[in-house]
Structure 1
């Protein structure tokens, strides 16, 4: 799954990228940081945010169903790894609001919002929306 970081690094100009719903899996965000990106990890779970900060990442608590849109301003892209189907439309709404691409790696079989383009990178399905 670390290949997702390589894919994003190829697709997105260096700058601020945001992982929505980081949970306790920080490898992709940390790899993007190593590649020179300013990564902001977002999660509604305070413990996940503390874990991300302890891993050396910038992290904030946010509820994407009622987002603090200022957190997302200035981003070059927003991405999420295996978000719930309910989260996907809200990730897309945030991306549209701040006019940046969104990348979603869904769980196998999860429905993906309409208008997203499927890109398969090293066998990993990555859905992309761009303004």
Structure 2
């Protein structure tokens, strides 16, 4: 599991260097990247279809990206997802476009064929789907 923390640290460093207001979609119970961003002073919120872990200090809302409450996302610079299931990608693309936010994804594996080339400047392969 230690390898995953390396991925989350790399994603957090990349995002913290470029954005001021972000939302992690599909955060689940692993809030490592989100907590690093929060501690770095980045305005952040997590969303998922599960409820937040107990004693979480990260702002966290219940939301389904397949039918999102777009008001939760207005004003953010970036929506990001770490290892989202493939079914989430296209709804996230639509959501990010509708709220004028960048969409950055670290993929679970090599599923899907319709993805942009990895971004430069990050030590793990991040993909930028929507650039505003």
1:127 paired with 2:127, answer yes
TM-score for the superposition, normalised by structure 1 = 0.87
| Aligned residues: CA RMSD | 1.5
SS of the counterpart of 1:60?
A: strand
Partner of 2:15: 8
Partner of 1:58: 59
Mapped to 1, the partners of 2:113 and 2:72 lie a distance apart of: 24
Mapped to 2, the partners of 1:10 and 1:78 lie a distance apart of: 15
Mapped to 2, the partners of 1:104 and 1:113 lie a distance apart of: 13
Greater per-residue strand proportion: 1
Residue deviations 1:2-22 (CA, integer Å, cap 9, x gap): 11100001122x2x2100000
Do the aligned partners of residues 113 and 93 (structure 1) sit closer, same or farther apart at CA in structure 2, a change above 3 Å counting? Answer: farther
Specify every segment of 5 or more residues in structure 2 that has no aligned partner in the other structure, as ranges: 1-6
Partner of 1:74: 75
Mapped to 2, the partners of 1:72 and 1:23 lie a distance apart of: 17
2:43 to 38, 58, 69: 38
SS of the counterpart of 2:17?
A: helix
- Residue pair 1:30, 1:57 contacting (<8 A) in 2 also: yes
Tell me how far 1:40 sits from its aligned partner. 0.4
SS of the counterpart of 1:57?
A: coil
